[in-house]
Structure 1
Amino acid sequence: MKTLTLLRHAKSGWDDPVTRDFDRPLNAKGKRAAQAVGRNMRSLDLAFDHVVASPAVRVGETLDAVVAGYGRTLAPVWERRIYLASAATLLDVIHELPAGAERVLLVGHNPGLEDLVLMLVPEASEGLRALVEEKYPTATLAEMTFDIDDWSAARAGGAMLSRFVRPRDLDPSLGPDDG
């Protein structure tokens, strides 16, 4: 049995005068949301034996804020292919995960993460999939389990979505902005 937890980076600052999308930092709401997600991860006693993440600035800042709430160190392997990756590319990354890794955290971007969940989790699945179809917000965790022994066996329709936690589920003030 393998467990894959996906974390979309927290809300970033579009008003920041950076020249490249890759360098865009989190905004204040994003930092609060990532800390709340980290606290929730701690309360659920989630643990990971492998972390792989996009090297984008907003992902690194998301992980820093998550760690502040989580209270445990996360030592990601920075994987450039995750930056703005398609679901197919993300599945390639998953297929290459270390065989000994049982519980993996992958931190990246949309639409790839949302598309990956929709690819891996069968349509006839429980109600959580419908929430993903609706929207995969920033700083949201999606946990999937696979009845496989090696990551190379992960395939479309082969996962069960066991958890989908949005920041607004933890604190309503972290929900969508009005307006």
Structure 2
Amino acid sequence: MSRIGKAPITIPSGVQIEVKGGSVNVKGPKGKLTQIVHPDMQFEQEDGVFTVKRPSDSRQHRSLHGLTRALINNMVLGVSNGFTKILDIEGVGYRAEMDGQTLVLNVGYSHPVRFDPPQDVSFAVENRGKMITVSGIDKQVVGEISAVIRKQRPPEPYKGKGIRYRGEYVRRKAGKAGKV
């Protein structure tokens, strides 16, 4: 049995889960999320605990069991607490700034790179333009937007310049050895 799939989901106060056919709707203080799940999965909700059950022990149902539980748990956490990713900018002249809701990156190109936030995602720039915070209720969207921002200038191994996730380790390389 899946260890992740067996784990119950505790529903915080103010969060409502509604299952209709093949979709699960989760509504909470920060917003509302909808996820389409496999129609074979079975759900039980009682006393503030939501559990996902599988109908059989087939390979497909075993693989869907943990996935479905993890997706619903991320939705519950998103509408109650939200998710954030922090990106650090390293390098001389590299910086970020906000232009209204739009994130503007100056990362060594001849032009600034602009990002408009999708729905339910917000950007914040702190530490004099050297730290970007991406916040939202959908874990997948927050991670995807953070990856797209990081891809504009990933950290390079010689000087470490670029955009990196907070806590990411960049393996450094030695430069050219000088002439003897």
TM-score (norm 1): 0.24
Q: Which has the larger radius of gyration?
A: 2
More strand by share: 2
Which structure's residues are more often helix, by fraction?
1
Higher relative contact order (CA 8 A, sep 6+): 1
